[in-house]
Chain A
Amino acid sequence: MKHPYQIVIVNKAGTHLFTSVKNTVQVFELASGKKVGEWIDDISPDQVTHQNTQISKKKGEPIMSQPIYNHIRSLLLTGNEEYLVGTTDSDKSTIIFHVDFTGENCLTLSKRQVLAKRPCSISFDAGNENVVVADKFGDVYSIPIDTNEPVPEKELAPILGHVSMLSDVLVTSYKGKQFIITGDRDEHIRISNYPKSYVIKNFLFGHREFVSDLYVSEHDPSVLISGGGDDFICLWHWFDNELLTKVELRDLVEEYLHDGHLPPARFLTEDSKKEISIAKISTLKTDDSYFLIVLVENTRCLLVFEINDDFTVTHNQTITIDNSIVDFSIDESNKRIIASVDTESSQLFEAFKYEQGKFSIDSSLEQSFKSVTDANPFDVESKSDFQQLYYINSMRKRSEH
């Protein structure tokens, strides 16, 4: 049995699959399942760092914190697909790879920039000159994509900061100007000018719980879609500070929620509700429709909506499989969704193709997915060895004082 992949990305042409399992990045040809690139972080994946070992002064019990494994936390291709950029939990760094399919291994690490605090999300500015990285301490840094030596982390100065844990960052353009959008654990979405990010444009108020995912489609950069710990996601005309639509999810997703969605034991009460956290938001444009696809963390379904011309949103379909979906990526060229699945089976991916108005399981990639899974270096005994596939809901605030 293999350990599930925490990240999956398909390139725009739909020819290659970029994946990450634990501390390893692997690249495959999608059609054949042939491995064409690999990079392994030399810090062991099972070595737990940053685990809190303090003893509580008041109770005399150890303070339990979630262990941080040495995993790759985020992965993103630049717009021109010349670079693949990720972040590591091990040494809190941003890793920049040059992607070149002519070589034996398509990944060449061109920079490893260590940060002071654990990075959690990345984006690129126009022209793909800089990676913009957000960290868990609330700061955002800009790191040039070049082959220069990394800067000592003490010399890096943040380009903006929140007094809150950041969850996502996006650089986007509107009428020729660039802006940086940041989401945090205190329900805030902030819009700042870029590169002069000390000038805040405005805040978008609408979320009641943490924000975990910000999404802007290439097809319409004026619309921001945001989700987090609420039962709804929001569509915004972010530049005009206008909330277009709130899409309610609870009724649609309720039957796919399970005990894993209840609050941790010490916060559990009789009327605790199962909690919804947004793992991923994306869109897919076909000739006649514009689909919004939403993954609620640790569910075995993808919610598919149609975004209408007046920005109303209607539920179109719920794609379901037998096991929870960890991550998914849109293969726009082939009108396909490729999902990484939390399963004990020998096939850790699933593809869904859009045909005649519906998404349905595409079995044509089965062989390819089996080869990909065979190349996964992490054999495990049982499901209980799967590490940290779902962590977004831990951002939820449970104030005690």
Chain B
Amino acid sequence: MPKPPQPPCTKDKETQLREQQEAEIKRRAYRENKQNARKKVKHARFEEPTDVSPVDLPRKRFYRQRAHSNPFSDHRLDYPNSPDTMDWSKMYPNFYDSELGKMTSKVEIADIGCGYGGLLTQLGPSFPESLVLGMEIRVQVTQYVEDRIIALRNKHAQDDYKYDNISVIRGNAMKFLPNFFYKSQLSKMFFCFPDPHFKQRKHKARIITNTLLSEYAYVLKEGGVIYTITDVEDLHNWMVQHLDEHPLFERLSKEWEDQDKCVEIMYNSTEEGQKVTRNKGSKWVACYRRLPNPEECV
């Protein structure tokens, strides 16, 4: 997104610098405070009463982070050694059967690059029986979504719908998706307003490529759907071209898109999508169904 024009600068440099530093200290203090609250909640399990029960939604401006992250670099990431060793119980405590010692449900819907979590908070109530997971590579943005979910759960603790089926994890989906999900585990994957990586030599960093689509096909069940939306026409064409070329995906029709409730949610609910609407930009949608494997393949 291009930045709006800045007002002409009237302050001298020193004042500016001092103000920036003060603002950063304030942001850091805010995040530290939230982090302590988050830690207590995480350790205490959600359903037990805790002395800290944040109900105020976190404020986004304290968590801002530049919009790009290099998917090829070795971030210090926490990821399970395999899907067998992934502990989902802390993330979805209401879907954990402590007597049997296992989850009653598996993650079925994944929002890859979930940003500030706008889609998650809409998908959650629309699919209350399914577990929905957001994956985001930027640390602070992930923390924002965690705080947002904690606040929503506290706020709606007494309601019918408790936001207990949505969660978020910091991760690099381009590298480690198979560490989280079993073969054919997912029924829906969302790619909303992904980083366009305009430069030619950066195209491999795009979230939709021929080779990565094979990995998405691996975690998606037959009949599962990939949802894409972007405000960059070039990127839309790129995603369509690569999905069209991939033998395991088939594009869904305009009519299908019109009747699908997820398309509607995706179009209107994400922060990025709302920003595009405010700026009167265009949004391009493409959805694809996972086809069965060729007969001779296993």
Contacts and interface: CB of A to CB of B under 8 A. Distances in A.
Interface of A: 137-139, 157-158, 160-164, 177, 186-188, 190, 192-193, 196-203, 205, 208, 397-401
13 contacts: A138-B211, A161-B209, A161-B211, A163-B72, A163-B174, A164-B175, A186-B176, A188-B178, A193-B298, A198-B246, A199-B293, A200-B214, A205-B81
B214 A192 contact: yes
Contacts of B179: 205
Interface string B175-212: 11011000100000000000000000000100001111
Contact of B75 (A139, A187, A208, A401): A401
Contacts of A205: 81-82, 84, 179
A1 B163 CA distance: 72
Given A164-B175, A198-B247, A397 B298 contact: no
A137 B74 contact: no
A157 B77 CA distance: 31
Q: Which of B74, B76, B82, B246 is the most central at the interface, judged by chain A CB atoms within 10 Å of its CB? A: B74
A257 to B, nearest CB: 24
Interface of B: 71-77, 81-82, 84, 172, 174-176, 178-179, 183, 204, 209-215, 217-218, 246-248, 293-294, 296-298
B76 A196 contact: no
B204 A137 contact: yes
Contacts of B213: 198
A193 B82 contact: no
B73 to A, nearest CB: 8
A312 to B, nearest CB: 23
Given A198-B248, A199-B294, A205-B82, A398 B74 contact: yes
A186 B297 contact: no
A228 B155 CA distance: 49
B247 A163 contact: no
A158 B204 CA distance: 12
Contacts of A190: 178
Contacts of B209: 161
Given A157-B210, A158-B210, A198-B246, A163 B178 contact: no
A188 B215 CA distance: 13
A208 to B, nearest CB: 7
Contact of B175 (A137, A157, A163, A399): A163
Given A137-B204, A202-B183, A401-B75, A161 B212 contact: yes
Given A193-B298, A199-B297, A200-B214, 19 more contacts: A138-B211, A158-B210, A160-B214, A161-B211, A162-B211, A163-B172, A164-B175, A177-B298, A193-B296, A193-B297, A199-B248, A199-B294, A199-B298, A200-B218, A202-B183, A203-B178, A397-B74, A399-B74, A401-B75
A269 B88 CA distance: 34
Q: Which of B218, B293, B297 is the most central at the interface, judged by chain A CB atoms within 10 Å of its CB? A: B297
A94 B48 CA distance: 62
Contacts of B246: 198
Given A163-B175, A397-B74, A399-B74, A198 B214 contact: yes
Contacts of B82: 203, 205
Contacts of A163: 71-72, 172, 174-175, 204, 212
- 6 cross-chain pairs, A with B, having the tightest CB-CB distances, nearest first: A161-B211, A205-B82, A399-B74, A199-B297, A200-B218, A163-B174
Contacts of B297: 193, 196, 199, 201
Contacts of A196: 247, 294, 296-297
Contact of A200 (B71, B75, B217): B217
Q: Which of B76, B218, B294 is the most central at the interface, judged by chain A CB atoms within 10 Å of its CB? A: B218
Nearest to A198: B214
A399 B247 contact: no
Contacts of A138: 211
B295 to A, nearest CB: 10
A208 B81 contact: yes
A199 B178 CA distance: 14
A399 B75 contact: yes
A203 B204 CA distance: 22
Nearest to B82: A205
A192 B176 CA distance: 17
B76 A399 contact: yes
A10 B189 CA distance: 50
A138 B214 CA distance: 14
A166 to B, nearest CB: 11
